[in-house]
Chains A and B, each alone.
Chain A
Amino acid sequence: MRKLARACVAGLLLALTSTFSIGSAQAAEEVSVISGVMQGPMGEPMAGVELSATGPDGFTADLTSAVDGSWSFEISIAGEYFVTIDPTTLPSGVALTEPDKLTKQVIVFMIGSPTPTVKFLTGDGPERDPMWQTAMQLTLDGIILGITISLAAVGLSLIFGTTGLTNFAHGELITLGGLTTFFFNKMGLHVVLAAIISLAICALIGGYAQDKLLWKPLRRRGTGLIAMLVVSIGFGLLVRYVFLYIFGGDKEQFLQYAGQAGWQFGPFSLTPKALVGLSIGVLLIGLTTAWLLKSKLGKASRAVADNPALAAASGIDVERVINVVWILGAVLAGYAGVMMGLNQGVQFIMGSDTLLLIFAAVTLGGLGTAFGAIVGSMIVGLFIQLSTLIIPTELKYVGALAVLIIILLVRPQGIMGRKERIG
């Protein structure tokens, strides 16, 4: 009796695996169907393609696609199934899109629940946008990133030029701009109004007070540049964690314009907020440039950068120039924070995450020159974006930093920097 039953079961299994007669499958209580369809490059059905399937408990099946290209088999136990195509049985002239992927895994978690339709794609695969189209968008985004970086880089470079300080706490000015805007925005002010108040705070606390209360006393005591550099690293850390303490660690969005849909012009996508932010950014940089070139104080600041002792001797109030440069740098960096906040959101770490790029831009352009910082920033911004056409996106900063190293090997003073006499 038992022998007979065993023979029956074996016979049933044989029937299941070889012929898939509907009668035998119905013997199982509940079944799932794994199915697929074979289609040519234009979507036409392909008959007679041979596939084989394996599964748990020694399950095997041989399949041939029907006239409409479809194939299917029924299973009664959950588990991992593998369907392998025999590419030699494809119609002549048809090739698989992924010729090295002949086996597909289908995991059935529960018998009775739907399983996805298995497809082996043929032809060239889905259409993609041409590379030039992506490159256009990347150029636009590169300009936006370049302007954002240059807003911070100009201030960093001017401060370095006039005081010799390599300010590792400059990123925190960006964060100050972003977070105070967010703070006033949350209190109910429109983001534009909040940004204006925030920039005033940047000027007053980030620029004026920071210089008067921290850096001026250090300069007066004749603290060395390396010591000041280390002070700036520590000060930056302190400020960063004060921000964390006050505002928390989350990335926050402004109440207005978050997730604004972009305008699509041909290959370009651009949000209105990014356009306005970019225009104001360009205007600010333009004004700074004009100030440096035309105004008395601007000329004085360049003179201080050139030679502080000579500038002081010729009657320039060096301390006043430095203070103004600090205020200017803080406002520009604060505005960079507003721009980043508008496009990406604000977080306590937003400035320090950008600091490396700012330093790259300043060094690339030539330390201490405002124009060099702008040129360096645009190169870094464009290179970061455009390099992703070739290198994987998770490594996008690598390309820009490689360019930095190569340019500095060829031109150690940076693009716009002047050669310094050594020895």
Chain B
Amino acid sequence: MTRSSILRSAAVIGASLLVLAACSSSDEGSGDATATPLKIGSMLPETGSLAFLGPPEFAGVDLAVQEINDGGGVLGAPVEHLRGDSGDTSTDIAQTTVDSHLAAGVGAIVGAASSGVSFTVIDKITGAGVVHFSPANTSPDFTNYADNGLYFRTAPSDTFQGAVLGQLMANEGAQNAVILNLDDAYGNGLAKYAANAFTGTSTIITYNPQATEFSAEVGKAKAAKPDAVALIGFAESTAVVQEMIKQGIGPDKVKLYLVDGNYSNTAFKDLPAGIMTGVKATLPGAAAPAEFQERLLAVDPSLTDFSYAAESYDAVMLIALAAQQGGATDGATIAANLQSVSSGGEKCSSWADCKALLDEGTDIDFDGVSGPVEFDENGEPSQATMGIYEYTANDASVAKVDEFIVGAVPAPLP
């Protein structure tokens, strides 16, 4: 036998082994004859004004997929995660991502972080019969949106965050607040509910996040002589805070409150030392337990923030459980089972436990890392936790766990 023929036969044997392997794995899955492997597409910010939220959200998705696949996958087949960028509203990256996910035949798309971005693709996703599941959209406008029952989110509507933010400012003694918000579905919604819950006088000033500079907006805020400023924005918030410092209403002079869109341990690091100390921020979700943070760090050791990691993790878990319970991986089946696996039944919180219960035919109630996650008929959490965080330095903050608010998500105002 010549060397080349040895090689050739080795290749043939190798190829046949591969074919055999493929056959045997399909044999295993034959219990669910119609089931195709669950494909989940992500549409999370790798670029754009929310890019700082991307790493923790991707880590949450990756961790959940890893744990599900370690536990045998969904309906006997491993979950496939197709990564995708959402960009922000100034680009059309989200459209491209959705097109490629839909072409790949995903059952659910996890994303986007920005409510504005989600609005640009929700019709395309839900129109294709695919579940649109956001871990971080908080705009109140999604609650009654005509989504064919296919839109879900693990983050609570901003009727909740707005009320907590407004009350927080009032409880800390503010009488005359300015609410500076970016002009999109998220910013306008949150500002409206914060102003409604604030008991003193409030002035809402809206800005275009793509503006070259923000002196006029901050000038208007200064003219209102506020004793508290709530800044509702994304990455441009750093520039707005700089302008506030310039005009003498910086966080060292007037109490500043941030929200989930700009609460970050990296965004303000270059500002004068210690200027952010004492600034408070609201962020939906229970504080990520240290043990969960360690699991995330094992997936992505470079994480500095954990915003919405738990919500992303829970989103993937819920989608997988819904597919497992429904016995199929298409959007309609997942959507039909999501409410049932999130509420009413025997409580469980890990893939292994929940899958074992489902295999016994038990009705389950998945309790996530971000909270109990009980979907109402609109596909939103009806109960939620709002975290309150306080900066201890420009690049560090602590969870004020004893100030966390747990309660029912208020109904949107007419």
Binding site for B on A (CB under 8 A): 36, 78-80, 97-98, 104-110, 113-119, 121, 125-129, 131, 133-134, 137-138, 141, 144-145, 148, 244, 248-255, 258-262, 264, 269-271, 274, 340, 343-345, 349-350, 353-354, 357, 384-385, 388, 392-397
A8 CA / B48 CA spacing, docked (Å): 62
Closest to B85 in A: A249
Within 8 A of A (CB), among B259-282: 270-272, 275
Asked if B246 contacts A274 (CB within 8 A), the reply is: yes
Which chain B residues in 207-222 approach chain A with CB under 8 Å?
A: 207-208, 210-217, 219-220, 222
Pick the contact of B216: A261, A353, A384 (CB < 8 A).
A384
Residue of A nearest to B273 (CB): A259
17 example contacts (A-B, Cβ-Cβ < 8 A) are as follows A80-B410, A106-B197, A107-B167, A110-B405, A121-B200, A126-B201, A141-B215, A144-B215, A253-B270, A254-B270, A260-B245, A260-B246, A260-B272, A269-B246, A343-B213, A397-B208, A397-B211
Does the CB pair B216–A385 fall under 8 Å? Answer: yes
- Take A119-B200, A145-B212, A262-B247 as given contacts and tell me if A129 and B223 are in contact as well, using a CB distance cutoff of 8 Å: yes
Q: Which B residue sits closest to A119, measured CB to CB?
A: B199
Chain A residue contacts of B217, Cβ below 8 A = 388, 393
Contact flag A258-B270 (CB < 8 Å), given A97-B201, A134-B219: yes
- Residues in B with CB closer than 8 Å to A128 are 223-225
* Cβ-based interface call for B238 (8 A): yes
B197 to A, closest residue via Cβ:
A107
CB closest residue in chain A, given B411: A80
Which residues of B154-210 are within 8 A (CB) of A?
Answer: 163-164, 166-167, 170-171, 175-176, 183, 196-201, 205-208, 210
B130 is an interface residue with CB less than 8 A from chain A: no
B115 lies within 8 A of chain A by Cβ = no
Q: Tell me if B407 and A125 are in contact (CB < 8 A).
A: no
Contact assessment for A141 and B219 in the assembled complex, using a CB-CB cutoff below 8 Å = yes
List 20 additional A-B contacts (Cβ < 8 Å) besides A134-B219, A258-B272, A261-B272: A79-B408, A109-B163, A109-B406, A109-B408, A110-B406, A113-B405, A126-B225, A128-B224, A129-B223, A129-B225, A251-B49, A251-B236, A254-B270, A255-B270, A258-B271, A260-B272, A340-B213, A384-B216, A392-B206, A393-B207
Interface check B235, CB cutoff 8 A: yes
B239 at the interface (CB under 8 A from A): yes
Q: How far is the CB of B218 from chain A (nearest CB, A)?
A: 9
Is B2 in contact with chain A by the CB < 8 A criterion?
A: no
CB-CB under 8 A for A259 and B272, given A129-B225, A133-B223, A251-B238: yes
Q: Is B9 an interface residue (CB 8 A)?
A: no
Q: Among B175, B176, B200, B216, which residue has the most Cβ atoms of chain A within 10 A?
A: B216
Most chain A Cβ neighbours within 10 Å, of B275, B406, B408, B411 = B408
A277 to chain B, nearest CB (A): 12
Contact yes or no, B246 A385, CB < 8 A: no
- CB neighbours (8 Å) of B175 from chain A are 119, 126
Contact present for B213 and A145 (CB under 8 Å): yes
Q: Is B52's beta carbon under 8 Å from chain A?
A: yes
Q: Closest CB of chain B to A157's CB: distance in Å?
A: 19
State how many angstroms separate the Cβ of B234 from the closest Cβ of chain A: 10
How many A-B pairs have beta carbons closer than 8 Å: the answer is: 182
Q: Is there an interface contact between A116 and B51, defined as CB atoms closer than 8 Å?
A: no
Q: Which chain A residue shows the least CB distance to B174?
A: A116
Contact across chains for A345 and B239 when beta carbons are under 8 A apart: yes
Which residues B366-414 have CB closer than 8 A to chain A? 405-408, 410-411, 413
B residues near A397, Cβ cutoff 8 Å: 208, 211
Q: Which residue of A lies closest to B224 (CB)?
A: A128
**B232 adjacent to chain A (CB < 8 Å):** no
Contacts of A271 on B, CB cut-off 8 Å? Answer: 246
The residue from B219, B271, B407 contacting A259, defined by CB atoms under 8 A apart? B271
* Contact B208–A396 (Cβ < 8 Å): yes
Which B residues are within 8 Å of any A CB, using their own CB?
46-49, 51-52, 90, 163-164, 166-167, 170-171, 175-176, 183, 196-201, 205-208, 210-217, 219-220, 222-225, 235-236, 238-239, 241-243, 245-248, 250, 270-272, 275, 405-408, 410-411, 413
- CB of B270 within 8 A of CB of A250, answer no
A127 to B: closest C-beta gap in Å? 6
When C-beta atoms are compared, the residue in chain B nearest to A127 turns out to be: B225
- Is B171 a contact partner of A116 (Cβ separation < 8 A)? yes
Closest to A78 in B: B407
Docked Cα-Cα span, A396 to B219, in Å, equals 13
Q: Give A104 to B163 CA distance when docked, in angstroms.
A: 12
B315 to chain A, nearest CB (A): 23
A125-B201, A394-B207 known; A137+B215 contact, CB < 8 A: yes
Please name all residues of chain B whose beta carbon is closer than 8 Å to the beta carbon of A269 when the two chains form the complex: 222, 246-248
Contacts of A36 in B (CB 8 A): 199
Interchain nearest-CB distance for A280 vs B (Å): 18
Which residues of chain B have C-beta atoms less than 8 A from A137's C-beta?
A: 215, 219, 222, 247
Given known pairs A117-B170, A145-B213, A254-B270, the reply for A388 and B220 (CB within 8 Å) is yes
Asked, given contacts A109-B407, A128-B224, whether A116 binds B246 with beta carbons under 8 Å apart, the answer is no
Residues of A within 8 A of B206 (CB): 392-394
Q: A116–B219 Cα gap in the complex (Å)? A: 28
Q: How far is the CA of A114 from the CA of B250 in the complex (A)?
A: 28
Q: Which of B196, B205, B210, B405 is the one whose CB lies under 8 Å from A105?
A: B196
Give the residues in chain B near A79, CB-CB below 8 Å. Answer: 408
CA distance A254 to B242 in the complex (A): 12
Q: Are B219 and A249 in contact (CB under 8 A)?
A: no
Residues in B neighbouring A133, C-beta threshold 8 A: 223
A262-B201 in contact (CB<8A): no
Closest to A249 in B: B47
Q: Which residues of chain B come closer than 8 Å to A251, judged between CB atoms?
A: 49, 235-236, 238-239
Question: Could you tell me if A249 and B211 are in contact, using CB atoms closer than 8 angstroms?
Answer: no
Known: A137-B219, A141-B219, A244-B47. A250 touches B52 (CB 8 A): yes
